[in-house]
Structure 1
Amino acid sequence: MPVLHNKISNYKLRTSMLSESEPRITISFYRYFILNNPHKFRDNLYRIFNTLQIFGRIYIASEGINAQISVPKKHFNKFRKTLYTLHPQLNGLRLNIALEDNGKSFWVLRMKVRPRIIADGINDSTFNPSDVGHYLKAELVNAMADDPKVLFVDMRNHYEYEVGHFNQAIEIPSNTFREQLSMVIKILWHNKDKKIVIYCTGGIRCEKASAWMRHNGFKNIYQVEGGIIEYVRRAREKALPLKFIGKNFVFDERLGERITPDIIAYCHQCGKPCDSHTNCQNQNCNLLFIQCHICNERYIGCCSITCQEKQSLPLLHALKNSKEMI
């Protein structure tokens, strides 16, 4: 029986990934479809992806699959062919290829079976998740972005919106997608008859959000097809002006893809223009925040003096012990 989960330390895996010379491609994809046996599907997929040296984070549920992965370039065609033949609902699935990529996005394969492929908190038996909004390609996105009567709504978290968004987009302040689904109804209720365009990173959150909004009485819901990733890819291909400015936050080692030169966020410590995210080096904190390179050096990658002091304690303790041993 092959090992169906990772048993090597993250440190060794990350070190190995960073030392790789083999080119890789970062890809994301999702599909809502009925899986009768998600555990069996998961184990089969794990064996295949492990053989192809694929890294990444994949969630599988009875409602479908949600994946962000790193594929060796030499295995890309085999990966795509295998994925498309794995299940009838996956044939021809759109693969969102990263916009700004050095292949160093993931270093381990994590594949989990969950109740939902994205946590939404919906417990309404009458809800139809397939009744989604109208899809918009980049050309129509731009046309609607120029219409002052159309509302653009960002269905991502605050830290994603902070570094990049469509110019006129409304932020739905929340810490989780679950919270956001209820808040978007409350905030936009008085505008429910207007044309509303929603968007997210790759489209998966908008699939659920647009259906939920329609379920709650919103009639004119549109969604950016393929999310920010597909919008930017197609806009660049068609030489269209980009209405999304700044960075597109991504949930992997890169933490962001540069879309336009605009820096619309600020260092959380000194207030200077900056859109580089970092995780606080104090492992007990691990806060995701924006930090410029000067503050990164000053606070040794920590979010505060308190965390800096806590992070320095083990090193000071080790130095003290080494001196006592001399």
Structure 2
Amino acid sequence: TKIISNLTGSTSAASAQELDVQKVHWECCGQQFEKKMDIHKHAAKEHMPEVLQQTEAVLELLVQQNSKLTANHNFGENKSASLELSGTKEEFDVCAWLPDTSHVTFDELTCEAGEVLLYYCYCAIEEPRMICTWQTALCRQLHLTGKVRIGTEGINGTIGGCKTATELYIQAMISHPLFQNMSKEDFKRSAGGVNCFADLRVGVFKEIVPMGVDPEKVSYKDAGTHLTPEEFHMKVEALSQDLEIDKKTILLDCRNFYESKIGNFQHSLAPNIRKFSYFPDYVDRNLEFFRGKQILMYCTGGIRCERGSAYLRSKGVCKEVYQLKGGIHKYLEQFPSGFYKGKLFVFDDRYTIPASNGIISECSYCGTRWDQYRLCSTSYCCQLVLSCLRCREKGLVACCLICQEKGKSASESHSGAPVKEECDCTEKRMKIPVEHI
């Protein structure tokens, strides 16, 4: 909605006010409204979801800011305390860092077609809850969905929306003083949109990527040497051509087994671990395997390598530790037909995004080439399943036959919602694999 005034001059305050009342009108959805009542009716009829969402965001901001202020017992008596909160901490004034969207229509912010942004920024954040409040308001204002993790060590996010909204989001991020070292290049883009996520989740966490180690003990500041996609490509190329280098170098995938299963760099070591919090134990159990080796690490967007490489370096066994800057995402932008084969796994409702035309994985049941994940059909299991269309038509839609039978029994018993439990095939897997020297 735009407020238009044709007031061009005045001879007195009274006449200016009179002219202003006569000339001001409102424009919305290609229509012009002369009266406030008319624009109010239009907004209530056509834009109620947006109005409610904006109102909710503003109210949440006011409540959180009020709780911050009233938490200071001397606020009413000590003006210097008030000045400290509102003056020296720029991020406290959340509204000051929200973008101006008056030039953008509701339709431009809510179209389904768009993109997904993946990004992170390691930096010192003294007041992560204030940034959490700002991020919540920012994403709601721009109608974005996704997940944003904030901590004292930085921010990690993946959000989806229309391109107008994601562009405004990027501008808001790089304009904030805490993230002034970020640039547009730090945001990895892929085709998607608001429907790639069920909702918006913004929270404060000890770690912005859960490795299970206190950030104060293993810091991103001690990460391995960053290699650009070009530099990484050259090293992988040399690795594939020289057997001597191959014996001294390990191309290490930091992701989970279900990620590397559908796509990876050729000749890489992909640990058979289920989540990143197992990675420290994996390193500890395989120190002799890594001893004296040059390590080339990679992950989806680069964030897991930051502290993963720092942990590996802290053990003092590797000759050198390198990591792919920007992760597989940035590598594929420059080398779409490079050494990475298969699909790239992503943590949203798409599950994968195209990387190369080849399929390197197979159906868990019949062995045919297949790389499209679906959740296990049994409600108590959260495992991902590779089951081809033919097998799915046969009812083979669980992660394993045992889980399939459990699912049938649960549905036939009608005993209410089943209790979540670890799947048998997961329970039998080795939690921390040991590599052979």
For Structure 1 versus Structure 2, the TM-score category normalised by the shorter chain is 0.7 to 0.9
* Distance change in 2, residues 1:22/1:80 (3 Å): same
Task: Please tell me whether the aligned partners of residues 85 and 91 of structure 1 are also in contact (alpha carbons under 8 angstroms).
Answer: no
SS in 1 for 2:119: strand
Task: Please tell me whether the aligned partners of residues 219 and 307 of structure 2 are also in contact (alpha carbons under 8 angstroms).
Answer: no
* Deviates further, 291-300 or 225-234: 291-300
For residue 232 of structure 2, what is the aligned residue in structure 1? Answer: 141
Q: 1:129 aligns with which of 212, 217, 220?
A: 220
Greater helix percent: which structure? 2
Asked if 1:275 corresponds to 2:371, the answer is yes
Amino acid at match of 2:56: P
Q: Deviation of residue 127 (structure 1)?
A: 3.4
- Structure 1 length-normalised TM: 0.83
Q: Where do residues 258-297 of structure 1 align in structure 2 (5 Å cutoff)?
A: 258-297=354-393
Gaps of 5+ in 1: 6-19, 318-326
State the distance in 1 between where 2:187 and 2:212 align: 27
Once the two structures are superposed, residues 228-281 of structure 1 have per-residue CA deviations (whole angstroms, 9 ceiling, x without a partner) of 101101224xxxx41010011110010011211221112112222211111012
Asked if 1:49 corresponds to 2:139, the answer is yes
Asked if 1:168 corresponds to 2:264, the answer is no
Amino acid at match of 2:389: H
Task: Please tell me whether the aligned partners of residues 113 and 192 of structure 2 are also in contact (alpha carbons under 8 angstroms).
Answer: no
State the distance in 2 between where 1:256 and 1:90 align: 31
Task: Please tell me whether the aligned partners of residues 172 and 184 of structure 1 are also in contact (alpha carbons under 8 angstroms).
Answer: no
For residue 30 of structure 1, what is the aligned residue in structure 2? Answer: 120
* Distance change in 2, residues 1:102/1:66 (3 Å): closer
Identity across aligned pairs (percent)? 26
Q: Deviation of residue 310 (structure 1)?
A: 4.5
Q: Radius of gyration: which is bigger? A: 2
* Distance change in 2, residues 1:278/1:22 (3 Å): closer
Asked if 1:2 corresponds to 2:60, the answer is no
Asked if 1:79 corresponds to 2:169, the answer is yes
Amino acid at match of 1:2: E
* Distance change in 2, residues 1:129/1:91 (3 Å): closer
State the distance in 2 between where 1:314 and 1:287 align: 23
Asked if 1:179 corresponds to 2:275, the answer is no
- Structure 2 length-normalised TM: 0.63
* Distance change in 2, residues 1:29/1:125 (3 Å): closer
* Distance change in 2, residues 1:188/1:229 (3 Å): farther
State the distance in 2 between where 1:314 and 1:23 align: 42
Aligned residues between the structures: 297
State the distance in 2 between where 1:90 and 1:284 align: 44
For residue 342 of structure 2, what is the aligned residue in structure 1? Answer: 246
Gaps of 5+ in 2: 1-54, 62-109, 417-437
Asked if 1:235 corresponds to 2:328, the answer is no
Q: 1:108 aligns with which of 199, 202, 209?
A: 199
Amino acid at match of 1:247: K
